[in-house]
């Protein structure tokens, strides 16, 4: 078909990137390689919104002062790691109350069964721990977080993909009932970073106590690295680097050529895991050295951090307000010019 008779192409959706991270502790390597590294990379790909999910953190952090200080530290960490407030909007989740109202609207189209299948709630229940309604409804709040900004792309680690599917389901149901209100988002994962292993080889997670924090004191970090679990095969035996969590961690930090050399060493055998751990300590120090230096500067200027977050919140509220108005109008909330204010009475 000649070009001038082709049907018009569907409009390209501009990329709107959004992601959130909980301030339930200091960020670990899993957060960085699964998510934060993507935030930085994508902040130039289109509009980008990143937030510190303090409302989500309330389901675990119960000490008000600690929560406030974790939120402040989270902002410093993100900026130190390369988030640029001139390119991306950085804000705190609870500074945008529009999102909590949107959560309620979504709750009314959310089947219980959908939330019962979600892993954060299921895991807690299966460990015999009491779960609160906040944890149960957590994916609905997360859906509101995403939909409030018309996000198209959500950079996350593997464990959040299920929640983005919930978000798509809820947006689809709402749109089906009330018209095209919400934009459906897609998750974005990085190869090799979707599930960063912890010191014991399971997924790195605060709940498994197997994390290595990005900015922890270097001596403490070294101790943790030296305690990473390994198998007890003899030194001379050749080993397969694939699926070895120590090797996986090393390859995240080291250059391609150093990673290749390490893979050859594994296959050849004749080395101790202690050597690999020492190489990992050095690679990690070098990898985060600039960010550590930037962090020290940012820490000395708390007013700057507060200003960045205030500016981010104002920008985020503007966007979330537009989407909330659209959603309220679509489902029949609020009065229009023509509708009576009291049912049955003349306006």
What phi and psi values does residue 188 have, to the nearest 5 degrees? Answer: -130, 125
How far is residue 137's CA from residue 112's CA, in Å, rounded to a whole number? Answer: 9
Q: How many CA atoms lie within 13 A of 51 on its CB side?
A: 32
Token output for 292: 């550590």
In this structure, the number of other CB atoms found within 10 A of the CB of residue 216 comes to 16
Token output for 174: 């709402």
Residue 10 CB, shortest distance to ligand TYM, in Å, is 26
Q: Which of 71, 135, 196, 262 binds ligand TYM (CB under 6 A)?
A: 196
Select 190 or 226, whichever has its Cβ closest to ligand TYM: 190
Considering only residues 163 through 182, tell me which ones interact with ligand TYM, judged by CB under 6 A: 163
User: By Cβ distance, which residue is nearest to ligand TYM?
Assistant: 34
Nearest alpha carbon to residue 335 among 294, 322, 325, 198: 325
Residue range at the interface with ligand TYM (CB under 6 A); choices 4-12, 155-163, 245-253, 325-333 = 155-163
73 interacts with ligand TYM by CB under 6 A: no
The Cα diameter of the chain in Å comes to 91
Q: Which of 16, 17, 35, 254 binds ligand TYM (CB under 6 A)?
A: 35
Q: Which of 203, 222, 239, 317 binds ligand TYM (CB under 6 A)?
A: 203
Nearest alpha carbon to residue 81 among 327, 234, 243, 289: 289
Give the DSSP letter of residue 17: E
Query: What number of chain residues touch ligand TYM (CB under 6 A)?
Result: 26
What phi and psi values does residue 326 have, to the nearest 5 degrees? Answer: -60, -45
16 interacts with ligand TYM by CB under 6 A: no
Residue 259 CB, shortest distance to ligand TYM, in Å, is 18
Active-site residues, by number, are 124, 203, 206
245 interacts with ligand TYM by CB under 6 A: no
Q: Which of 31, 43, 210, 251 binds ligand TYM (CB under 6 A)?
A: 31
34 interacts with ligand TYM by CB under 6 A: yes
> Could you tell me where the beta strands, DSSP code E, fall in 37-190?
47-52, 88-92, 153-155, 186-188
156 interacts with ligand TYM by CB under 6 A: yes
In this structure, the number of other CB atoms found within 10 A of the CB of residue 270 comes to 10
Residue 144 CB, shortest distance to ligand TYM, in Å, is 9
99 interacts with ligand TYM by CB under 6 A: no
Token output for 182: 């919400």
Select 155 or 265, whichever has its Cβ closest to ligand TYM: 155
In this structure, the number of other CB atoms found within 10 A of the CB of residue 115 comes to 20
Q: Which of 61, 70, 75, 154 binds ligand TYM (CB under 6 A)?
A: 154
For the chain, the first-to-last Cα distance in angstroms comes to 58
> Over the range 303-326, which residues count as b (16 or more CB within 10 Å of their CB) and which as e?
eebeebbeebbebbbebbeebbeb
299 interacts with ligand TYM by CB under 6 A: no
Residue range at the interface with ligand TYM (CB under 6 A); choices 77-85, 95-103, 192-200, 288-296 = 192-200
Q: Which of 53, 70, 181, 249 binds ligand TYM (CB under 6 A)?
A: 53
Residue 184 CB, shortest distance to ligand TYM, in Å, is 14
DSSP strand pairing (88-92 vs 153-155): unpaired
Interaction site with ligand TYM (CB under 6 A): 19-22, 30-31, 34-35, 53, 56, 142, 145-146, 154, 156-157, 159-160, 163, 193-196, 203-205
């Amino acid at each position: 078909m000649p070009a001038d008779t082709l049907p018009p192409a569907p409009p390209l959706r501009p990329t709107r990137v959004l992601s959130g991270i909980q301030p339930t502790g200091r960020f670990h390597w899993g957060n960085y390689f699964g998510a934060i590294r993507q935030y930085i990379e994508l902040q130039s790909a289109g509009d980008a919104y990143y937030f510190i999910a303090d409302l989500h953190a309330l389901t675990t952090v119960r000490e008000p002062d600690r929560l406030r200080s974790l939120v402040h530290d989270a902002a410093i960490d993100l900026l130190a790691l390369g988030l640029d407030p001139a390119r991306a909007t950085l804000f705190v989740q609870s500074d945008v109350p529009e999102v909590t109202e949107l959560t309620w609207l979504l709750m009314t189209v959310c089947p219980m069964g959908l939330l019962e299948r979600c892993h954060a709630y299921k895991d807690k229940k299966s460990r015999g721990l009491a779960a609160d309604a906040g944890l149960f409804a957590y994916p609905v709040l997360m859906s509101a977080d995403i939909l409030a900004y018309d996000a198209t792309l959500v950079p996350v680690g593997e464990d959040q993909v299920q929640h983005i599917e919930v978000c798509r389901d809820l947006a689809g149901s709402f749109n089906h009932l009330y018209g095209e209100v919400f934009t459906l988002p897609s998750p974005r994962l990085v190869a090799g970073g979707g599930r960063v292993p912890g010191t014991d080889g399971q997924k790195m997670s605060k709940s498994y106590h197997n994390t290595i924090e990005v900015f922890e004191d270097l001596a403490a970090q070294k101790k943790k690295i030296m305690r990473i679990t390994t198998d007890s095969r003899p030194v001379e035996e050749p080993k397969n680097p694939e699926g070895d969590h120590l090797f996986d961690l090393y390859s995240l930090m080291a250059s391609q050529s150093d990673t290749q050399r390490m893979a050859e060493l594994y296959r050849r055998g004749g080395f101790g895991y202690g050597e690999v751990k020492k190489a990992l300590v050095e690679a990690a120090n070098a990898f985060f050295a600039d960010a550590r230096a930037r962090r020290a500067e940012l820490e000395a200027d708390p007013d700057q951090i507060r200003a960045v977050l205030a500016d981010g919140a104002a920008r985020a509220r503007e966007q979330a307000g537009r989407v909330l108005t659209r959603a309220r109008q679509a489902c029949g909330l609020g009065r229009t010019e023509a509708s009576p204010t009291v049912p049955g009475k003349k306006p």
